């Protein structure tokens, strides 16, 4: 329990520091574009750094599965409430580019911010662990901060799982407006937690190329290209498929159904 308490304290500290950085940047940076990029960096760093700590806590076996899922739900709620409109996910930036809400250069810059923050979070996590704040951190340091691939299936199956998870999550996001405003954050958190429960043992249910780049790519067991196949191609195809299904295919089918009813 002491290790869990320290890890939770670390997560709370990361969130508070990032929230302070977001508010400071908004107060000091007058340019809307630069403020947008700064928020994306800080928020992506928050997501990745918190996940590093919770991933270590979960993989150490010092949390039972129910507690781990509860923490997943709670931290998702915290992230959604503090993200300040940041995407923290390349799939989200590409989706907005497709919709015309973002210019191509802006979308690429946001993805660069996300990947840069993901890379930086690795070193932030290593620094925190090097402080030896808990026995868990000391053990991890003595083992050379090693981590191993969480993929528990063949690469095609793992990529399909990440694709399916991203599809479901994107479908929830696209239809979240049907819920009351106060319920939306909890619906989204419940969806993320359910997907982690269902697919966590297969791929970790990351559903985010930038987050995967931070927490999974440094781990041994697979090459960069193999991780990219599972954690980059899978989620992006899942997001694109959800957009196609809910904005193209279903409306088209409904339109045809309405037409044939009128004809009959």
| Secondary structure (3-state) at 8 | helix
At residue 132, the pLDDT reads 94
Neighbours of 70 (CB within 10 A): 13
Helices (H), strands (E): how many in the chain?
A: 12, 0
- Contacts for 129 with CB less than 8 Å, ≥ 6 apart: 56, 137, 140, 141, 145
At residue 248, the pLDDT reads 85
Contact 2, 134 (CB under 8 A): yes
3-state SS, 229-249, equals: HHHHHHHHHHHHHHHHHHHHH
The CA distance from 122 to 38, in Å, is: 18
The CA distance from 66 to 108, in Å, is: 38
Domains of the chain: 2-263 (1.20.1080.10)
Contact 118, 214 (CB under 8 A): yes
Give, for 248, the enclosing helix (H) or strand (E).
Answer: none
The CA distance from 41 to 19, in Å, is: 12
The CA distance from 109 to 113, in Å, is: 6
Q: What is the DSSP string of 50-98?
A: HHHHHHHHHHTT-S-HHHHHHHHHHHHHHHHHHSTT---SHHHHHHHHH
The CA distance from 50 to 63, in Å, is: 16
Contact 154, 85 (CB under 8 A): no
- The widest CA-to-CA distance across the chain, in whole angstroms, is 74
Altogether, the residues listed in the chain come to a count of: 264
Neighbours of 35 (CB within 10 A): 17
Encode the chain (264 residues) as per-residue pLDDT tens digits. Answer: 788 999 999 999 999 999 999 999 989 988 888 899 999 999 999 999 999 999 999 988 778 889 999 999 999 999 999 998 899 999 999 999 998 889 999 999 999 999 999 999 999 999 999 999 999 999 999 999 999 999 999 999 999 999 999 999 999 999 998 898 889 999 999 999 999 999 999 999 999 999 999 999 999 999 999 999 999 999 999 999 999 999 888 888 777 666 566 666
Beta bridge partners of 148: 220
How far CA 196 is from CA of 28, 61, 87, 91, 171, in Å, comes to: 38, 16, 20, 18, 16
At residue 31, the pLDDT reads 85
Query: Which tokens hold the place of 183?
Result: 């319920």
Dihedral (CA of 235, 232, 158, 198) sign: negative
């Amino acid at each position: 329990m002491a290790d869990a308490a320290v890890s939770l304290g670390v997560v709370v500290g990361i969130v508070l520091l990032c929230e302070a950085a977001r508010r400071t940047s908004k107060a000091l940076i007058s340019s809307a574009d630069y403020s947008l990029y700064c928020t994306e960096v800080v928020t992506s760093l928050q997501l990745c750094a918190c996940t590093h700590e919770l991933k270590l806590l979960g993989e150490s076996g010092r949390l039972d599965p129910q507690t781990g899922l509860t923490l997943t739900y709670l931290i998702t709620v915290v992230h959604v409430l503090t993200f300040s409109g940041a995407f923290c996910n390349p799939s989200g930036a590409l989706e907005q580019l497709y919709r015309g809400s973002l210019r191509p250069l802006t979308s690429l810059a946001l993805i660069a911010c996300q990947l840069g923050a993901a890379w930086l979070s690795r070193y932030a996590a290593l620094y925190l662990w090097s402080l030896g704040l808990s026995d868990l951190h000391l053990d991890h340091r003595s083992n050379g901060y090693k981590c191993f691939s969480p993929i528990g299936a063949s690469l095609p199956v793992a990529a399909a799982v990440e694709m399916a998870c991203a599809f479901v999550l994107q479908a929830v996001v696209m239809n979240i407006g049907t819920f009351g405003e106060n319920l939306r954050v909890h619906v989204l958190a419940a969806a993320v937690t359910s997907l982690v429960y269902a697919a966590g043992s297969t791929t970790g249910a990351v559903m985010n190329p930038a987050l995967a780049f931070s927490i999974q790519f440094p781990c041994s067991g697979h090459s960069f290209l193999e991780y990219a196949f599972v954690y980059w191609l899978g989620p992006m195809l899942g997001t694109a498929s959800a957009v196609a299904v809910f904005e193209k295919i279903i409306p088209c089918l409904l339109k045809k159904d309405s037409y044939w009813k009128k004809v009959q």
